[in-house]
Amino acid sequence: MGDPIPAGLGKRGRPPHLPTDENRRKIIALMAFDKNEAQIAAALSISVPTLKKHYFRELAAKLEARQRVEGKLLGALMKEVDAGNVSAIDKVFKRLDRHDLARGIQPPTATKPAKAKPLGKKAQAEIDAHDNSGEGRWGSLLN
């Protein structure tokens, strides 16, 4: 659908694959999401040997791929924070809280005293009936 017609269409053999920076970025992004070589090759419409031939450096950095992508995203997020984007600031705080929880650090929480649930008339009458503290009309007789 979106692929242009190759320049060598109609000639014998398959046209040579030319690696591009866009394809390199795609490979790093796909590796960050734990895709295997066959899936990455299928996404680029090339064979696995062609993938290994032209993109061996990117494939060798498989362990770093997730950290690279995460670093880029955090860099972009911090630019938004510097610009004053409130949503980005909120995301950074949430990410820091998750990071602290993963390391076992409890974030400080502002605890408000629990609000007492208001009782209905029947529930309050039941409590008052069992209360013999002497404050009610019959309390002095019960003590």
Query: With bands split at pLDDT 50, 70 and 90, how would you rate the model's confidence at 140?
Result: low
Helices (H), strands (E): how many in the chain? 8, 0
With H, G, I as helix, E, B as strand and everything else as coil, classify residue 138. Answer: coil
Encode pLDDT of 67-100 as tens digits. 888 898 899 999 999 999 999 899 888 888 887 7
* Among candidate residues 125, 124, 123, 143, the one with its CA nearest the CA of residue 133: 143
**Half-sphere exposure (Cβ direction) of 130: Cα atoms closer than 13 Å:** 5
- Tell if the pTM clears 0.85, that is, is over it: no
Please write the tens of the pLDDT for every residue from 95-105. Answer: 888 877 777 77
Q: List, for residues 23-65, the tens digit of each pLDDT value.
A: 999 999 999 888 999 999 999 999 999 999 999 988 888 878 8
Of 41, 58, 59, 40, which Cα lies nearest the Cα of 50? Answer: 41
Please give the structure tokens belonging to residue 75: 């860099």
